[in-house]
Amino acid sequence: MTIGAAVLASEEVPLSARSGLRLSATASFFIALIVFGLAGLAAFWLTTGSGHLSALGFSGFTVPDAISLERSVHLAWRSNWSHIPNISTFLGTVLVYYPIILFGKAYALVANITLLALSAVLFNATLHRVAGSQYSGRIWLVALTMVSTNFYIISCLPYPNKEIPLIFLTSVNLLALVGGRWYLAGLSIFLSFWFRDGFALILGMVAVVLICRRFAFVSGGMIATLFLIMLLIAFPITELAGVDRTLQRNVEIGAEIAGDKFSALGDIIAYGSRLVGNAVNLGLRPQVVDVQGGLYLLGIGYWQFGIILLAGLIWGVKNIFSSNVAKGCLALTIMVSLLGISYGTFVQPRYMMPMIFLLTLGLSESWIGRFVVVPVAVAMPILFMLMGGLPPLAGV
């Protein structure tokens, strides 16, 4: 028996993993394809039946960024690319979704469904790596259900977008890191850069931390992990600005808006407030109604993700020093990503969306997520509403 197998065998079997349900890669792909295909039908219905739904008091059927990207893809392929500023920040989207020029939204729908199904297969393989013989397909099925019923994901399906390709690349990255395939992890980080450069930088930070965690675990791994996390909090990101012109522009804009927050001695209080905001805002202060009092579906999708995010963060804190090295690496991935995203000028928890499959472990594997986070996430918006503390209502 190998050391890794011995570690896995010695762990207490989680309640959610006591079932013998196991799914092969082929089975998981076809199940995911069917499930996301149904989500695609829902997306098509939202697109074509928005008039009827509006009459019933619903709004928020589409993601504004996705509509903007659709226009950018058409513009890029039908005119000079030089007319599009900062195209390198979404060049991957322009290339992946080029066929919409020929086939329209049908291509985007098929491509997005396929990417999500492949992401689900990769997450299934990651769970196999983490849990070994204790793996249960029920955890994966819970994740599949939560992702496929998220209104934000559904709204993105008929359009070019950054989130779904990044969900796929992040799933590749996680499986590669857990399996020690560093070349594949590096490739996924490189490709992520062409969809969202800042997120690629965060994945790079995650890779550095996980490599150190993996190879220093036996001797002082906990100390090394704590040191690296604190190092990230005070990381002088301005030193990297010269690597890429777009990153330099983002840093300069952020410095103008928020001051010297990118230096090692930046505003720790402001950073801490963004950290907390990214962790709890979507889950506890959702924007689920519009100015006319109707249900804002996109806001409900954000709320769904906010609950997943909050539960996933608690799962990450709980498992960050797990004796299961693979599980500890996944927990570290969540925490380091939150630290990196909180460097941004604004509170933008949506940027954690590429890790949605991983974050579902907070609800599928933890009783805290199911019996504490969910009730709190239902009660707190009511409390905030009574106190007048909810965000401004969405326009229609």
**367 belongs to a structural domain:** yes
Taking the C-alpha atoms of residue 228 and residue 268, their distance in angstroms, rounded to an integer, is 17
Taking the C-alpha atoms of residue 268 and residue 67, their distance in angstroms, rounded to an integer, is 36
Distances (CA, A) of 225 to 43, 222, 331, 369: 42, 5, 12, 25
Taking the C-alpha atoms of residue 96 and residue 165, their distance in angstroms, rounded to an integer, is 9
Number of domains in the chain: 1
At 90-111, the pLDDT tens digits run 889 999 999 999 998 999 999 9
**221 belongs to a structural domain:** yes
CA–CA–CA angle 45, 48, 53 (5° rounding): 75
SS3 state of residue 295: strand
Q: Can you read off the two tokens belonging to residue 201?
A: 């930088």
**8 belongs to a structural domain:** no
| More confidently predicted of 233 and 36 | 36
**5 belongs to a structural domain:** no
| More confidently predicted of 251 and 149 | 149
Question: Which residues, including other chains, have CB under 8 Å from residue 224's CB and lie 6 or more apart?
Answer: 212, 213, 216
Structural domain of residue 278, as residue ranges? 23-387
Mean pLDDT computed over every residue of the chain: 81
Question: Which residues, including other chains, have CB under 8 Å from residue 351's CB and lie 6 or more apart?
Answer: 196, 198, 199, 341, 344
Of 17-26, 153-162, 202-211, 217-226, minimum mean pLDDT range: 217-226
At 130-176, the pLDDT tens digits run 887 677 789 999 999 999 999 999 999 999 999 999 999 999 999 99
**1 belongs to a structural domain:** no
Q: What is the pTM of this model?
A: 0.85
**18 belongs to a structural domain:** no
Helix (H) or strand (E) holding 8: helix 3-10
**95 belongs to a structural domain:** yes
Of 34-43, 84-93, 296-305, 375-384, minimum mean pLDDT range: 84-93
Whether residue 107 contacts residue 89, with contact meaning beta carbons closer than 8 Å, is answered with: no
**396 belongs to a structural domain:** no
Extended strands (E) in the chain: 58-59, 295-296
